[in-house]
């Protein structure tokens, strides 16, 4: 794929608007008839083209109105004629209706009222190639496991980005499996709308039954002969009463034998992290209030149940099922920790999607492109002026701290920015009105493309999403934008989707839709600090402004992908069902902390390709479909993969690199991994040779497994006895749990200590290592053994048993090498040239 130019990246946004028209012909054959059609072009020109072919001059346009509902969706002329027929009007031929213009206007009013066709099973589209592939490989894997062991409960992960169609494809898998009982569990209840709509609208699932807490329905009254899908949240399904018992209303769920359990939005699962980490940057009080509103009061207890290192699904969700399916667009933790092996994963990433889009267009230039409406993303980063950076700098490298810059207090009319004057300057900057920079632009003769000033970008900012640090910042921004002196923003409807007043979950969405309407005549800015960043679709959102610090690429890109929803008009002129008018070919992410933004991008690119040995290639692959422009304070330039990694690593120090090698993510010490070690004599022998291992005591792995099994047994007994245990059993449970967790921690620390030895070896070679395998195999095996106590063969064995997470180690190796090369280049030395292997190592040892 050719690299797009800056002009192409900032190409003008297409203009199109669907219209419904009706015209009459003054002759005997057309008496009482109206031609009802649609077009995305000028109605007069469109009708003139039609009548010209028949040399008709005695026609009159009776109606010309927008084909839009109040909620922003578009209807077609086919829907208008169908609605007229239901009212009793006759469709004489093709698009001619026996009715009046007033009758058509009545139908248009009804269609705009927001009536939905849920439950009619009218959709007939087929699976795309990659969706069918996901179903087939998962189906084959499940059956291969059942062939080995009929009692096996296989697990499979779909690493599939937003817009893959995970809900529709999951139902197709369930259908192929012949599943009659499907349980969908999520940590994010707001995604329910898609699960219900897909089941109730597609002809493939006619006769299927949908149940959930919100949709109602008595599970005891379902038709046992027809498939049923139950949608529930972790919070509700895992919630218990005061006695610790399963909620009575959910008792039937635990008695049912499920054919398939689907974990949706798996990256939000709390079983590997605390719930608070899902709300990065939130103030403690805001977090507690928002969390309880959004996820219900049961969350604390749920998280306590889930936040156990060795926890398995059957332990925290006591149900019976034949198989598990996990869905996520950003399952980086699951991929990095080796939770799923390669044959248990189907990947469909942003890069896969955009490559499929380009390939289809190249091979089928005259055909409708099933990926054509999926916008390509562009990332634009801006270096703030020094005077604003000085206001809010933090960290070891004084990076621009978005959370501090947009810090605020209060809510509603009382909300106020801590640095209000500086935030006002920022508003001036994004409009290209900042006086200091305006002078620079005059001197250089260039005008950088700031979001709300460049005429090429403004159409893509007609409806934007601003991602702020917290509720107070959202209210403060809304207040500032509406102050009298900010006249530019009077054209925009400011919607605050934050705090309790905005509503819980999907309740925050209707005000946004109402403000946007069809999206053609309105302008909006939606302010949020977390709401509506997952599981919702607002197709008119075309840009997002990242105005907060985010620690993980998962959170960053989950939010960013909100603006990648397709916006198009199918069959815009009513005469070609294969024609599609794409209203949003591209979408934009604007970020004002360049180093952090590019670090997130590089981590995301590397995370998308865990098996790519060279991280630079992974990032290069991503940016070929996600161009990056960076404004350095003077010029806007396009950055390649190497430049992205250089900037991303600019905020990395030896201290931060050392922390990468001290991370608990580098090693696995769950029960399954420990059992694999214990069952492999060579592995047991290897770990016992790690320095300090003997000090942990004899049979420590066996002790951990036995005690954790004992704890599980006591917990199961407590559940069976309505939470009742004898005082002796309660003490035993507490003591055993405390002991096995502390011993597991000691094992983890020993393995991490081994991992911290590896960076020293990167000084021993002139090769440009990119992976852990490079580091180990390009060194003297005897030296490796002497320093670590393990042979290269020992280490490879432990890697195969998933004791060490090589994906995480590869990231750390690459980061260390890039940092080291940059440091040496600064002194005029290129990649260890001229240094002997042992000379540098001796120097390091001597300094220690």
Banded pLDDT at 278 (limits 50, 70, 90): very low
Give yes or no for residue 757 having a pLDDT over 50. yes
**C-alpha closest to that of 750 among 689, 816, 678, 811:** 689
In this prediction, residue 829 has a pLDDT band, given cuts at 50, 70 and 90, of very low
CA dihedral 676, 679, 683, 688 (to 10 degrees): 110
List of residues 6+ apart from 234 with CB closer than 8 A = 185, 186, 187, 269, 270, 302, 306, 317
**CA–CA distance, 741 with 843 (Å, rounded to integer):** 40
Q: Which helix (H) or strand (E) holds 479?
A: helix 471-481
Q: What is the mean pLDDT of the chain?
A: 78
Rounded mean pLDDT, 206-232: 85
d(CA 810, CA 788): 18
The string of pLDDT tens digits covering residues 395-449 is 544 567 899 999 999 988 899 999 999 999 999 999 988 755 555 554 555 678 8
Tell whether the torsion through CA atoms of 659, 660, 665 and 667 is positive or negative: negative
pLDDT, residue 86, reads 85
Give the pLDDT band of residue 292 (cuts 50, 70, 90): very low
Q: What is the pLDDT of residues 162-182, one digit of tens each?
A: 889 899 999 999 999 999 999
The residues, any chain, with a CB within 8 Å of residue 766's CB and separated by 6 or more, are 831, 832, 833, 835, 837
Per the model's pLDDT, the better-predicted residue between 715 and 423 turns out to be 423
Contact 317, 237 (CB under 8 A): yes
Instruction: Identify the residue whose tokens are 């190249």.
Output: 362
Q: Which residue has the higher pLDDT, 192 or 327?
A: 327
The whole-number pLDDT of residue 161 equals 85
DSSP string for 773-806: HHHHHTS-HHHHHHHHS--HHHHHHHHHTTSB-H
Say which residue, 9 or 167, is predicted with more confidence: 167
Higher pLDDT, 101 or 715: 101
Q: Which band of pLDDT confidence, cut at 50, 70 and 90, is reported for residue 611?
A: low
d(CA 42, CA 51): 15
Residue 809 has pLDDT above 80, yes or no: no
Model-wide pTM > 0.75: no
pLDDT at 300: 40
Residue 835 has pLDDT above 60, yes or no: no
pLDDT at 150 over 80: yes
Half-sphere exposure of 134 (CA within 13 A, CB side): 30
Q: How far is Cα 391 from Cα 385, in angstroms, rounded to an integer? A: 10
pLDDT score for 533: 86
Question: For residues 564 and 586, what is the distance between their CA atoms, to the nearest angstrom?
Answer: 8
Q: Looking at residue 815, what is its pLDDT? A: 61
Helix (H, G, I), strand (E, B) or coil at 487: helix
Q: Are strands 580-582 and 345-348 parallel, antiparallel or unpaired?
A: unpaired
Q: Given a cut of 60, is residue 132 above it in pLDDT?
A: yes
> DSSP letters along 591-656, please?
ES-HHHHHHHHHHHHHHH-TT-S-HHHHHHHHHTTS-EEEE-SS-EEE--HHHHHHHHHTT--HHH
Between residues 769 and 409, which one has the greater pLDDT? Answer: 409
The highest-confidence range among 199-203, 493-497, 641-645, by mean pLDDT, is 493-497
**Cα–Cα separations (whole angstroms), residue 163 to 191, 331, 553, 625, 800:** 13, 16, 18, 16, 34
In the structure, what pLDDT confidence band is assigned to residue 270 with cuts at 50, 70 and 90?
Answer: very low
* Average pLDDT score over residue span 674-688: 86
Question: pLDDT per residue over 333-371, tens digit each?
Answer: 666 666 788 899 999 989 999 999 999 999 998 888 989
For the ranges 134-143, 298-307, 394-403, the maximum mean pLDDT occurs at 134-143
Count of residues for the chain? 848
**CATH number given to 129-348:** 3.40.50.300
Average pLDDT in the 687-711 region? 82
Predicted confidence band of residue 765 (pLDDT cuts 50, 70, 90): very low
Q: Where are the beta strands (DSSP E) in 134-233?
A: 155-160, 181-186, 209-212, 228-233
pLDDT at 192: 78
At residue 506 the predicted structure's pLDDT band, cuts being 50, 70 and 90, is confident
Pairing relation of β-strands 463-467 and 524-528?
parallel
Tokens encoding 806: 């090589």
Distance (Å, whole) CA 594 – CA 605: 16
Q: Is pLDDT of 296 > 60?
A: no
What pLDDT, on a 0 to 100 scale, did the predictor assign at position 848?
32
The ranges of the chain annotated as CATH 3.40.50.300 are 129-348, 352-363+377-565+575-651
Share of the chain above pLDDT 70, in %: 74
Mean pLDDT, range 225-245, rounded to an integer: 77
What the block records as the tokens of 46 is 């469109």
At the fourth CATH level, which superfamily is domain 352-363+377-565+575-651?
A: P-loop containing nucleotide triphosphate hydrolases (3.40.50.300)
The pLDDT assigned to 803 comes to 82
Question: Residue 528: its pLDDT value, please?
Answer: 94
pLDDT band at 286 (very low <50, low <70, confident <90, very high): very low
């Amino acid at each position: 794929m050719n690299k797009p130019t800056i002009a192409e990246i900032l190409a003008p946004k297409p203009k199109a608007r669907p219209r419904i028209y009706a015209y009459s012909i003054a002759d005997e054959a057309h008496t009482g008839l109206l031609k009802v059609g649609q077009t995305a072009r000028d109605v007069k020109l469109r009708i003139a083209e039609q009548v010209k072919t028949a040399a008709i001059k005695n026609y009159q346009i009776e109606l010309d109105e927008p084909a839009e509902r109040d909620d922003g969706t578009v209807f077609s002329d086919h829907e208008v004629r169908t609605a007229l027929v239901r009212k009793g009007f006759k469709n004489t031929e093709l698009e001619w209706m026996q009715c009046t213009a007033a009758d058509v206007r009545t139908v248009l009013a009804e269609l705009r009222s927001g009536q939905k066709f849920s439950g009619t099973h009218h959709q007939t589209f087929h699976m795309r190639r990659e969706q069918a592939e996901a179903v087939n490989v998962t189906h084959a894997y499940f059956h291969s496991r059942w062939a080995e062991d009929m009692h096996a409960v296989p697990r499979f992960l779909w690493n599939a980005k937003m817009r893959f169609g995970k809900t529709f494809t999951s139902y197709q898998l369930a259908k192929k499996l012949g599943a009659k009982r499907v349980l969908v569990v999520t940590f994010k209840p707001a995604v329910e709308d898609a699960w219900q709509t897909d089941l109730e609208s597609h002809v493939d699932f006619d006769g299927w039954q949908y149940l959930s807490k919100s949709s109602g329905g008595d599970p005891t009254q379902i038709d046992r002969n027809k498939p049923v899908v139950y949608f529930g949240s972790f919070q509700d399904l895992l919630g218990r009463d005061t006695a610790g018992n399963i909620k009575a209303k959910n008792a039937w769920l635990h008695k049912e034998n499920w054919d398939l359990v689907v974990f949706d939005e798996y990256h939000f699962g709390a079983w590997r992290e605390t719930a608070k980490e899902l709300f990065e940057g939130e103030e403690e009080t805001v977090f507690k209030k928002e969390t309880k509103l959004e996820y219900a009061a049961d969350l604390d207890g749920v998280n306590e149940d889930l936040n156990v290192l060795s926890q398995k699904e059957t332990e925290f969700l006591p149900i019976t099922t034949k198989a598990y399916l996990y869905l996520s667009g950003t399952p980086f933790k699951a991929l990095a920790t080796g939770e799923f092996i390669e044959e248990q994963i189907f990947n469909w990433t942003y890069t896969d999607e955009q490559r499929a889009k380009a390939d289809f267009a190249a091979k089928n230039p005259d055909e409708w492109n099933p990926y054509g409406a999926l916008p390509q993303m562009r990332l634009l980063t801006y270096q703030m002026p020094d005077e604003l950076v000085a206001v809010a700098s933090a960290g070891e490298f004084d990076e621009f701290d978005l959370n501090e810059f947009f810090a605020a207090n209060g809510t509603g009319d009382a909300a106020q920015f801590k640095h209000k004057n500086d935030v006002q300057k920022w508003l001036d900057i994004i409009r290209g009105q900042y006086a200091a920079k305006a002078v620079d632009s005059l001197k250089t003769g260039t005008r950088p493309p700031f979001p709300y000033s460049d005429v090429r970008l403004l159409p893509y900012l007609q409806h934007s999403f601003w991602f702020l640090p917290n509720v107070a910042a959202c209210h403060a921004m809304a207040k500032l934008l509406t102050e009298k002196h900010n006249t530019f923003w009077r054209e925009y409807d400011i919607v605050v989707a934050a705090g309790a007043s905005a509503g819980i979950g999907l309740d925050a969405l209707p005000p946004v839709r109402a403000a946007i309407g069809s999206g053609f005549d309105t302008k909006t800015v939606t302010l949020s600090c977390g709401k509506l960043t997952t599981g919702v679709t607002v197709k008119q959102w075309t840009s997002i402004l990242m105005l907060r610090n985010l620690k993980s690429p998962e959170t960053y890109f989950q939010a960013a992908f909100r603006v990648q929803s397709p916006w198009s008009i199918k069959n815009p002129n009513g005469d070609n069902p294969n024609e599609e008018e794409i209203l949003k070919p591209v979408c934009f992410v604007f970020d004002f902390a360049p180093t952090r933004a590019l670090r997130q991008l590089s981590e995301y690119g590397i995370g998308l390709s865990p098996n790519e040995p060279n991280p630079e290639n992974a990032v290069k692959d991503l940016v070929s479909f996600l161009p990056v422009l960076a404004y350095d304070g003077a010029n806007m330039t396009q950055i390649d993969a190497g430049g992205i990694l250089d900037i991303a690593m600019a905020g990395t120090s030896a201290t931060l690199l050392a922390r990468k090698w001290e991370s608990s993510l580098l090693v696995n010490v769950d029960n399954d991994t420990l059992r694999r070690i214990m069952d492999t004599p060579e592995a047991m022998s290897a770990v016992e040779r790690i320095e300090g291992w003997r000090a942990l005591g004899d049979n420590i792995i066996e002790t951990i497994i036995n005690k954790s099994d004992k704890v599980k047994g006591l917990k199961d007994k407590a559940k069976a006895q309505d939470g009742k245990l004898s005082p002796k059993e309660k003490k035993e449970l507490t003591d055993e749990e405390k002991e096995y967790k502390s011993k597991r921690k000691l094992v983890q620390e020993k393995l991490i200590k081994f991992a911290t030895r590896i960076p020293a070896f990167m000084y021993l070679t002139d090769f440009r290592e990119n992976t852990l395998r490079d580091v180990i195999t390009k060194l003297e095996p005897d030296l490796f053994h002497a320093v670590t106590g393990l042979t290269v063969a020992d280490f490879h064995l432990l890697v195969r048993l998933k004791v060490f997470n090589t994906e995480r180690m590869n990231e750390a190796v690459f980061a260390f090498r890039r940092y080291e090369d940059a440091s040496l280049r600064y002194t005029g030395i290129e990649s260890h040239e001229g240094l002997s292997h042992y000379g540098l190592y001796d120097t390091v040892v001597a300094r220690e």
